[in-house]
A and B are shown apart, each in its own frame.
Chain A
Amino acid sequence: MVMPPFDKEFFRTDRLALEAHNLFDLVEKLDTLAPGFAAIAQPRVHFAVDGVIETDWSRVLSPAAEVIVLPRVGGG
């Protein structure tokens, strides 16, 4: 699931079905669909995998994993 603003900014859809080994792999595949996404993924994106924010992009994704692409929020 691709949350705003990335759905409209890059993909023109809020749902995609992709096979990816891990989140690095997913970023590459998303960048293929929307060139430029990989360049902003690290500074602007958080991924939630099956409902939990995942900071280790090398962790293997299960075939049925649901990934939410979220704006990265820091703090003050």
Chain B
Amino acid sequence: MNAPVTIKQFRHVGTRPVRPDGVDKVTGKALYGPDFKAPGMLWGAILRSPHPHARIASIDTRKAEALAGVKAVATGRDFPTLQSLVMHVGEGASDIIHVARNCLAFDKVLYEGHAVAAVAATTPEIAREALSLIAVEYEELPFVLGLEEALAEGAPLLHADMFTKGVEPRPEKPSNASMRLEMGFGDVDAALANAAFTVSGRYTMEPVHQGYIEPHACVASWNADGQAQIWCSTQGHFAVRALTASVLAIPQADIRVMPLEIGGGFGGKTTVYLEPVAMILSRKSGRPVRLAMTRDEVFRASGPAPGAIIEVRIGADAQGLFKAAYVEFKYHSGAFPAIDAAAGVASAIGHYRIANTRVIGTEVLCNRPAAKAYRAPGAPQVNFAVESAIDELAGKLGIDPLELRLRNAAAQGDPQTSGVPWGRIGWIECLEAAKAHPHWSAPLGPNQGRGIAGGYWGNYGGPSTVVVSLAEDGTFTVATGSPDIGGSRAAMAIMAAEVLDVPYQQVRCIVADTASIGVSMVTGGSRTTFATGKAVVEAAQAVRRTLCERAARQWNVPAGSVEWSDGEAVCIAGEKAGTRATAGQIAARASHSGGPIAALSAINAAGWLPGFGAHICDVEVDPETGHVRIVRYTAIQDVGTAIHPDYVEGQIQGGAVQGIGWALNEAYVYGASGRLDNAGFLDYRMPVASDVPMIDTVMVEVPNPDHPYGVKGVGEVPIVPPLAAVANAIHGATGKRLRDLPMAPDRVHAALHPQG
């Protein structure tokens, strides 16, 4: 590992204390979604469509209801009639009707695995038997899986009321294209025509899953008085509350959502699949109901990242300065409109300074599970195409690919594709660090190749609420509304300890439920350490001020004569100058000098900055089998300031490995019947520890001036560059440019041996 390149001026920020939730997790005591049980709980199960596209003619649940032990059966008709309402909950805007329809189909099933009915019974076995007794009459419809097929004239239409947004004239006929975005500036065609060197290519990939180990799971208990509790594994319990309340048309305050530990989410746990259904079953049965997906259900019914077709054309002058870029992509949305195209447009080519740029993205509906966020949603796909094309251009120009990137890299003040100028970004610093890294100049062995790719992600801020409170003994509790998916409890405790200047162990952080803390956006968008961290700093500063005021009252001195220093209140003037009191001493007398000490910060954090990364990858390709082995991998990233470097490195390593899996092995495979053929980890091949070397990380620290400690989001950037870094390395090893993912052995072998 490489240490951050700047020297810390902090006491706690940048240190690596043990995570406060670590013991529970390594000893198996931590409660995850599937672990939770409630007294009197029933076991739920969901009946799913075997067809990729069909009209539901009828559902007969009478036999299931008559089965001994069955306490409730639900279908889509148990949901209230909803009016269209676009909500930004989780990671993007969704119409609440689509959210409800995805939880339980109403009149049509739109993909294999689409939920059709649910039961709650006294045992899991009875619940499963009851599913077999539900008679669903389907009228099968033609289905469509492919992007271009879904856009073709006469393609099966998923939604009769879907008219493409973002085109003019406004369409008169419905379409499977839910949205088209086009951004850019300059005269791309003319600049490409005049460029000394151009490259072009078409790149493709299938949808891939986030691959979280813990399946979706919840327990819901909806009382006769209308109040309900939900225990679930989620990246955002406030999102679960808002979506569930909206789907069921009930007040949000009637639902209390308790977040359990989360066994991976990566964007995939920012919506609801089970919670509204468990609520309906609970209301009908009068008992708590548990629903949990099997791995098979996770693959067939939860949202993957979209597959894509991407066309790229880039032109440069003889000196290697980029003159024009044209990028057009189509992304799978699956069964309902998704959110990835806007992010894809924003993440495509903005990391280079190009006077003539056009990026076009189209969201395409098809009979697959509705796409959901996956770590930098929409960015890795388009980046794969762009960074592969730039590698190809470097070859044509005869310029070192890292040098070519440096020559064209965008810097602060340069316009993004939207025209909004970049803030204080660290892209060039990352490339310089890559150039200086020994990996870049290390020798390669036989059949080995090296690739480099860079990429970025916009990150986010958003709403966060935090309460910092002082216990009677002078220890502190930080309560946030942000589920801890990557070590954020430790990061929050570090930031509070930094402000309060007390030992890290004197601060404990909890994730409070929806009734115990104010609204907080999901833990996603690489926002939590930035946004919730800002709120932690604000609240801790308020507590520090209160401690000084209380000390002044307790000492009977003017408030202005007390300062906070080295974790204590210190009187700096008058007769009591030099008198000191710890937080514990002040807390012991707090009840008689104004009451308990606590502070709340509720903010909509602004000032977030994007993160940039440059990845270097060495591969070794077996010419006989086409197998690709990752030999060495270095991920360099501008992290702003690393609050807890272990977790920053962990995020970088995790993102890189997920990207390597995307590059080499992962893809949804559908058969001719429109059914998923690889709905399990045996056939959906994710990387395991033995597949990858230790991912070396370099944390470049270009602090964010809009965060008290300089934080930038780090979690999503590292999945962006690996796809192209691996592809470019394979090209280096073989001379073959692979444009279709995954670059599995059969595909590599076919490229090496086109004659078979």
Contacts and interface: CB of A to CB of B under 8 A. Distances in A.
A76 B88 contact: no
A9 B716 contact: no
Contacts of B165: 5, 8-9
B527 interface: yes
A75 interface: yes
Contacts of B342: 71-73
A68 B93 CA distance: 19
Name which of B343, B376, B420, B421 has the most chain A CB atoms within 10 A of its CB. Answer: B420
Interface string A33-74: 000000110111000100111111000000000001011111
B375 interface: yes
B87 A76 contact: no
B183 A4 contact: yes
Given A44-B86, A55-B606, A75 B420 contact: no
A60 to B, nearest CB: 16
Name which of A4, A9, A43 has the most chain B CB atoms within 10 A of its CB. Answer: A4
B374 interface: yes
B461 A55 contact: yes
Given A4-B181, A9-B166, A75 B88 contact: no
A71 B339 CA distance: 10
A68 B180 CA distance: 18
Contact of A54 (B90, B181, B182, B606): B606
B418 A70 contact: yes
Interface residues of B, number: 53
A3 interface: yes
Contacts of B266: 76
Given A4-B181, A8-B167, A75 B459 contact: yes
B351 to A, nearest CB: 15
B639 to A, nearest CB: 16
A75 B181 contact: no
Name which of B268, B605, B606 has the most chain A CB atoms within 10 A of its CB. Answer: B606
Given A5-B165, A40-B93, A74 B525 contact: yes
Contacts of B339: 73-74
Contacts of A72: 88, 92-93, 342
Contacts of B459: 75
B407 to A, nearest CB: 25
Nearest to A53: B606
Given A44-B88, A76-B266, A76-B525, A51 B420 contact: yes
Contact of A76 (B86, B93, B421, B524): B524
Nearest to B719: A76
B238 interface: no
Given A68-B420, A74-B524, A43 B606 contact: no
A2 to B, nearest CB: 11
Contacts of A52: 420, 423
A1 B168 contact: no
Interface residues of A, number: 28
Nearest to A57: B604
A12 B168 contact: yes
B88 A42 contact: yes
B419 interface: yes
Name which of A12, A39, A71, A72 has the most chain B CB atoms within 10 A of its CB. Answer: A71
A14 to B, nearest CB: 10
Contacts of B65: none
A60 B266 CA distance: 37
Contacts of A76: 91, 210, 266-268, 270, 373-377, 524-525, 716
B93 A53 contact: no
Interface in B312-355: 339, 342-343, 345-346
Name which of A1, A52, A68 has the most chain B CB atoms within 10 A of its CB. Answer: A52
B394 to A, nearest CB: 29
Name which of A5, A40, A52 has the most chain B CB atoms within 10 A of its CB. Answer: A5
Nearest to A5: B166
Contact of A75 (B418, B423, B525, B604): B525
Nearest to A6: B166
10 contacts: A4-B183, A8-B166, A8-B167, A43-B86, A43-B88, A44-B88, A56-B604, A73-B458, A74-B88, A75-B460
Interface of B: 86-88, 90-93, 165-168, 170, 179-183, 210, 266-268, 270, 339, 342-343, 345-346, 373-377, 418-421, 423, 457-462, 524-527, 604-606, 608, 713, 716
